[in-house]
Amino acid sequence: MHVNDNIVEVTMERSRKENTIVGHEEHIDVLEKAIEVGDVIVSFAQKEVLKKVNWTVHKGEIATLLGPNGCGKSTLLKAIMGSQSISYGHIEIFGKQLQSYSASELARKVAFLPQVQVAPKDMVVEELIACGRYPYQKWWRSTDGEDRIIIERAMAETKTTHLANQLVSSLSGGERQRVWIAMALAQEPEILILDEPTTYLDINHQLEILELIKRLNKEQNLTVLMVLHELNQAARYSNRVAILNQGEIAVNGTPNEVITIDILQHIFKVDAIIEHEKDGTIFIKVNGLI
Amino acid sequence: MSRIMKRLFLVWMFFILAVVAIIISMVFGSADITLEKIWHTLWTSQLVDTQDMVIWNIRFPRNIVAALVGANLAVSGAILQAVMKNPLSDPQIVGVSSGAGLAGVIIFILFPWLEHIVPLFAFVGALGAALLVYALAWKNGIRPTRIILAGVAVAAFLGSGISALLVFYGDRVQGALLWMVGGLAARSWNQVELLVPYTIIGLVLAFLGSRRLTILSLGDETAKGLGLPVEQTRFTMTAVAAFLAASAVSVAGLIGFVGLIIPHVTRMFIGTDYRFLLPGSAALGAAILVISDTIGRVVFSPVEVPVGIIMAFFGAPFFLYLLRRE
């Protein structure tokens, strides 16, 4: 656990005790490292956007990155994806240096769902999902039988089979997000990275997407790394939460360890109450700005 | 599967349309020739009368040049629209053709003895212009609007260079001036020979990159996530587009709007999958340029209107239509 300053440390101690009392601690038995970020510094024009970030996501976890706007979340995701070069430090995916992966090799391990997605107006769902097979295909060779099976499975898992022949542009927000997740699944990844997957959705579809992610995590042992803004959703759906603030990981641990009144006050600058639900998850009630 | 069959069918239809356009348009001209005669001439090994000569040495090669130029410009435009993330891209609008044109005019006026390798110089000019547009438009990535604005500026700047050359070397501009308007008058087998190798190389390279272009159309972030080397693809495919545009400009001068309109119309029928969009655009571009050239030749006879003017006449309103729709 990486702790940033004393106040936070004291808080963490307390919340850990509270957790023991409540008796809720998520145990991740498999401790194989999926993503390891070590001492990573990224700077743009002499300004350090990430300042020595250390963070590990284990295999089979749902890890959520929280933090105020502009704290460097997207930059960290891009660095892990290999599309943002780092000035210092190292990133490993399944114990292997990121740079030693070829682009398509990485795409077969890690799928990425950007916050804003673009699809040509005339592209139908099935075609889009088939694009997920790109890292496995060479030159002119077209989608073959094995690809077909994987595409159909991805559609079944995301309940998008009935949309196969519809235009992506004609879908509702929730459907579209499921289709893009299906495309990511067609990559047969071991890690799925999602940048604010719920941002443009209503509450019903937000939960639908999060439930889908949780199910994929459980059934396929898919490691998930996502950025969220909604604290309660992060608390409910993650095994691990890290809060990034001003380019540094301020706290990292289980949701109950990390999301505390002090953190909400110091980092998010809001006044809040934290209640413990019967099932052990926390519920954050924000009263207002400080 | 049926979707793929439908697209293949449409590509074939466009291809047949091009072939039919090439043959039928040979009927029209200063003297009309019957289709029967044309068919006979195309399959005979000896040219016996004037009509044979007209068909074999004038109308047929000119149509082939028109078809190749149309195909190259259309494919070039389709590629540029994908790599520049802008549906309004076209080799002329983004300055690529002007780059080829300036290089071409420099050779024609200052180094006329190098005329046979004009396409190579035009390619250098076209690629240089494309890179200049990228450099000017680049700011934390590519924005569609900046690309167009930079393109228009580069096209205007290079165009002024061409005009300046024409002014300073007024005595030598005869050929160059006509070339600037974009016409196919008096194009014959020499130009076919010049164009064929460049067309084959360019189109094959374009088709090899077609899947990458489809992936690129999903946006840079997704494309990177799928393992596509985005910047490398953008550079190599821009080079292919410049190569195709340069070969077209070398023999036909500056013809606008083909690269803009044809990919759009093709997309309406065939969709964005570049494995079908590129061959479809090539075939339709060939057909449309042959038809436009015939209109320019025939309608105002005996005055011949350069095909560049015909394309601009029909193309400009279509451009405005696209602009309003986007």
Q: What percent of chain B has pLDDT over 90?
A: 41
Residue B136 has φ and ψ, to the nearest 5°, of -70, -35
Please answer yes or no on whether A112 and B214 come within 8 Å at the CB atom: no
Tell me how far apart the alpha carbons of residues B310 and B183 are, in angstroms, rounded to a whole number. 10
Quote the pLDDT of residue B140.
72
- Condensed to tens digits (0 to 9), the pLDDT of residues B193-211 reads 889 999 999 999 999 999 9
pTM of the model: 0.87
- Condensed to tens digits (0 to 9), the pLDDT of residues A275-290 reads 888 888 889 888 888 8
Quote the pLDDT of residue A142.
65
Q: Which residue has the higher pLDDT, B91 or B29?
A: B91
Please answer yes or no on whether B225 and A117 come within 8 Å at the CB atom: no
Please answer yes or no on whether A140 and B217 come within 8 Å at the CB atom: no
Quote the pLDDT of residue A254.
92
Residue A24 has pLDDT above 70, yes or no: no
| Average pLDDT, integer, range A19-28 | 44
- Condensed to tens digits (0 to 9), the pLDDT of residues A160-215 reads 999 989 999 999 999 999 999 999 999 999 999 999 999 889 999 999 999 999 99
Q: Which of the residues B221, B273, B276 would you substitute to probe the A interface, choosing the one with the greatest number of A C-beta atoms within 10 Å?
A: B221
Q: Which residue has the higher pLDDT, B51 or A54?
A: A54
Please answer yes or no on whether A111 and B229 come within 8 Å at the CB atom: no
Quote the pLDDT of residue B90.
87
Tell me how far apart the alpha carbons of residues B73 and B248 are, in angstroms, rounded to a whole number. 7
Please answer yes or no on whether A112 and B224 come within 8 Å at the CB atom: yes
Closest-CA residue to B222 (of A123, A237, A48): A123
The whole-chain average pLDDT of chain A stands at 86
The reply to whether B231 touches chain A by the CB within 8 Å rule is no
- Å from A243 to nearest chain B CA? 24
Tell me how far apart the alpha carbons of residues B313 and B315 are, in angstroms, rounded to a whole number. 6
- Condensed to tens digits (0 to 9), the pLDDT of residues B272-296 reads 899 999 999 999 999 999 999 999 9
Residue A92 has pLDDT above 80, yes or no: yes
3-state SS, A276-287, equals ECCCCCEEEEEE
| Average pLDDT, integer, range A24-45 | 76
Assess whether the previous peptide bond of B302 is cis (omega < 30° from 0).
Answer: yes
Contact in structure between B178 and B185 (CB atoms under 8 Å):
yes
Q: Which residue of A has its CA nearest to B221?
A: A114
Q: Which residue of B has its CA nearest to A101?
A: B227
Quote the pLDDT of residue A5.
45
Quote the pLDDT of residue A20.
40
Of residues A81, A102, A105, nearest to B224 (C-beta): A81
Of residues A122, A124, A135, nearest to B226 (C-beta): A135
Please answer yes or no on whether B226 and A131 come within 8 Å at the CB atom: yes
Please answer yes or no on whether B224 and A135 come within 8 Å at the CB atom: no
Instruction: Indicate the residue type of A93.
Output: I
Closest-CA residue to B252 (of B292, B202, B299, B211): B292
Quote the pLDDT of residue B174.
66
| Average pLDDT, integer, range B160-185 | 77
Quote the pLDDT of residue B34.
85
Cβ within 8 Å of residue A151, ≥6 positions away:
A126, A129, A130, A132, A133, A143, A186
ipTM over 0.85: no
**What does each C-alpha distance from B47 to A250, B21, B27 come to in angstroms?**
86, 23, 17
Token couple for B154 = 């580069």
Quote the pLDDT of residue B169.
82
Quote the pLDDT of residue A236.
93
Residue A37 has pLDDT above 70, yes or no: yes
Of residues B208, B215, B221, nearest to A134 (C-beta): B215
